[in-house]
Copies of this chain bind each other. A is one copy, B any other.
Amino acid sequence: MSAIPVANSILAVRKAVAAARTSGLRIGCVPTMGALHEGHASLIRSAKAVSDFVVTTIFVNPTQFGPNEDFTKYPRTLEADCETCAAAGADLIFAPTAEEMYPPNAFAFVDVGTLGEHLCGPSRPGHFRGVCTIVMKLFQIVQPDVAVFGAKDAQQARIIRRMILDLNVPVQLMIAPTIRERDGLAMSSRNRYLTPIERSRAPEIYRVLCEVRDRALHGERDVARLESALRGMLETIPESRLDYAAIVDDETMTPITQIDRPALIAVAIYVGKTRLIDNVTIPQTTTI
């Protein structure tokens, strides 16, 4: 059906982007690991709304997986991904091999220090260094005017924003809202790992997040009490194991004791063997 071009080499994607830029087109970029779902499609549509030539990158980046994580079994669905990209309005797919992206003897990396040590940091050592490095590489290869990331990966989005600011990367960052299933479960490529019974339990995560956010919005400012409620409710999900559930400063992701600034409620929880993450923000409000 659709015939979206796929570039496998850095040279090819640079050539295609250069041609688009010469034609006066504004370049958008949506970095993904493939296994695309409606959440990714929404990122591509967001990119297309603010640029003319959208490059979707599809690369399961080995350096952001830990040794005991799901790198080898991570879903790879390139053919379906091409359809999704084309339908959502992407103009080019960049799907390189690991050899193309990481030549032997590669030493350089980008990192964000302590910013990667909160939330997912402790259980995923090296993850955000891997993310920063591959995103920086993709930015240097595609040189987009605008890049779109999803709000679902809250810490990733904040870290990339920090990286762009700190290293003066000439790209505009757009964080697009989390797309959810009808029952509230945040869309994720990892949802397909869930058994039917786990899948039926997973929407509870978002329900709990909303409940805790509402308590904050209705006047509960004490973070210890809110976190205690958050953890208590999440622990009732059968056959689940909480990785973390925290309420932190929305920008720096450092712990707070009072809801006295924009805050992020972030959760990582194993449902069965599948690690799911989700989050909601508590906007700055004034109590009446």
Q: Give A residues with C-beta under 8 Å from B.
A: 10, 14, 103, 105-115, 132-133, 136-137, 140-141, 143, 162-163, 165-170, 252
Contact = CB atoms under 8 A, between A and B. Distances in A.
A170 B111 contact: no
Contacts of A132: 108
B167 A133 contact: yes
A136 B109 CA distance: 11
Q: Residue among A14, A103, A112, A140 with the most chain B CB within 10 A? A: A140
Among A109, A111, A133, A170, the one with the most B-chain Cβ atoms within 10 Å of its Cβ is A109
Given A10-B168, A133-B167, A168-B10, A108 B140 contact: no
Contacts of A110: 108-110, 167
A263 to B, nearest CB: 17
10 contacts: A107-B113, A107-B166, A108-B111, A108-B113, A108-B115, A109-B110, A140-B168, A140-B169, A140-B170, A141-B168
Complex copy number for this chain:
2
A112 B105 contact: no
B136 A167 contact: yes
Contacts of A112: 107-109
A169 B109 CA distance: 12
Given A133-B167, A140-B169, A170-B143, A113 B109 contact: yes
B103 A107 contact: no
Contacts of A140: 167-170
Given A167-B136, A167-B140, A170-B140, A114 B107 contact: yes
A133 B136 CA distance: 13
A169 B106 CA distance: 13
B170 A252 contact: no
A16 to B, nearest CB: 14
Nearest to A111: B109
